[in-house]
Amino acid sequence: MEALSQLLSRARNGGFIFGFRVGGRGSEGLFASHLLFADDTLIFCDADADQLQYLSWTFMWFEAISGLKVNPSKTEAIPVGEGILMEILASVSGCKIGSLPTSYLGLPLGAPYKSTRVWDAVEERFRKRVCARLEKIQRDFLWGGGALENKPHLVGWKVICADKKEGGLGIRSLATFNKALLRKWLWRFTNENEPLWKQIIFSKYNLQEGGWCSKGVRDCYGVGVWKAIRKGWEKFCSHSRFIIGDGTRVKFWKDLWCGNQSLEEAFPILFNLSVNKEGWVAEAWEEDEGGGNWGLRFNRHLNDWEVGEVESLLSTLHPLTIRRGVEDLFRWKENKNGTFSVKSFYSSFSRDTKPPSQLELFGHLGFQLGLASLVGRQLGAGCSPQTA
């Protein structure tokens, strides 16, 4: 399929077929001509007989070099828009005519996202609150012994999902595990440059300052997959840090690149006095014959008691220098090698929502037993037979 992809790309670059334009807000956007997944292929071109003829020739060349054959009976030409003479176009391409909405990889394609009928097939697989439902089955199985009966749950589910070292059973929370899988796409966005999916997201939403992630998705229409992934960016950043290269993509005051917290949080007084609160690290570095030093600019003269703050800041910055020609790096704090893994995110997220300790559990249980004993004694006293 890589050979077919290359042939289609050359046909697009040569102007023989045209794809569709993605984005284009303030830019030319990105043209996509085809999408491939295993042996399923989507090809986008204009409703033009010449383009379909070129497409047919591309299939012929692919068959000649690979020995594989495109099956016309499984191929559809689907019109998008009105006034298209599909009978003529279908006779050129030699395939049958389809229509929207249709499905691709089992999901609806080209349908109104609010149409209940269209999403029926999807809801059969992904019911609402699927994580809660599956975890309920797990809980009932654990306490019911496989009978899925509604028996009392002796320990909270968060404790069961805790790590074995913390007294839990190490069972994965499905909701947390799903978040970890989604955050992997944020990691890929920050560290990969060439993938088509990233180029499409960039063309549609543009990049935020620094270029580490797209801008927030604020569209009031559509069921954006990226919209749900992008919501976790702030939480994701709180477990990450930057390694300084040339300093052109890292905020001096607001990003985490020096110490265990941002300089805005570590030196709030100096941040309020700073001339450039949104400045980049590279802008705070001043080159000289000796290599360079950190130059800080404030909006007024410093008081005597503020000089100590500046000295502390310069002491913190002293081991760090700008390296011209070296790119800034985005690193994951929860792994020793600095790379993201689903396991490390799950562990860090579980640590942030750590369940009560065993001492707290036993204290709570002891309180309940003591309360039950007190109530029992009171009931016993009230029901004892009275003597004359």
Q: In this structure, is residue 91 part of a structural domain? A: yes
The band of 363, judged by pLDDT with boundaries at 50, 70 and 90, is very low
Counts for the chain of helices (H) and strands (E), in that order: 15, 12
Range of the domain at 162: 127-171
**Each residue's pLDDT tens digit, 8-28:** 888 888 888 888 887 755 556
* The pLDDT value given to residue 278: 93
Residues 131 and 110 in one domain: no
pTM: 0.72
Do both 34 and 133 map to the same domain?
no
Same domain, 13 and 72: yes
66 and 156 assigned to the same domain? no
Examine residue 378 and state whether it is found in any structural domain, yes or no. Answer: no
- Domain-embedded: residue 376: no
Query: Average of pLDDT values for 262-272?
Result: 94
- Is the domain of 161 the same as that of 88? no
Calpha distance 279→252 (Å, rounded): 6
In terms of domains, do 77 and 18 share one? yes
User: Which letter does DSSP use for residue 279 in this model?
Assistant: -
Pairing state of beta strands 34-37 and 40-43? antiparallel
Mean residue pLDDT of the chain comes to 80
Question: Does residue 178 sit within a domain?
Answer: no
Among residues 332, 353, 378, the one where a domain terminates is: 332
| Residue at 153 is within a domain | yes
Does residue 248 carry a pLDDT above 60? yes
Using pLDDT thresholds of 50, 70 and 90, give the confidence band for residue 287: confident
Instruction: Establish if 26 belongs to a structural domain.
Output: yes
Mean pLDDT of 100-111: 75
3-state secondary structure of 225: helix
Is 263 among the domain residues?
yes
For the chain, how many structural domains are there in total?
3
> What is the C-alpha separation between 45 and 53, in angstroms, rounded?
11
CA-CA-CA-CA torsion sign (311, 316, 322, 327):
negative
CA-to-CA distance for 377 and 38, rounded, in angstroms?
71
More confidently predicted of 314 and 101: 314
- Per residue in 189-234, pLDDT (tens digit) is 999 988 888 988 888 888 888 899 998 887 655 447 888 899 889 9
Residues 69 and 149 in one domain: no
Closest CA to 202 of 231, 230, 182, 179: 230
CB contact set of 213 (below 8 Å; sequence gap of 6+): 186, 189, 190, 207, 230, 233
Judge if 314 and 278 occupy the same domain.
yes
Q: Which residues have C-beta within 8 Å of that of residue 125, sequence separation ≥ 6?
A: none
Asked whether residue 353 is domain-assigned, the answer is no
Hey, is 244 helix, strand or coil? Answer: coil
Lowest mean pLDDT segment, chosen from 158-172, 178-192, 346-360: 346-360
Q: Domain boundary residue among 92, 114, 136? A: 114
Between these two residues, 310 and 127, which has the higher pLDDT value? 310
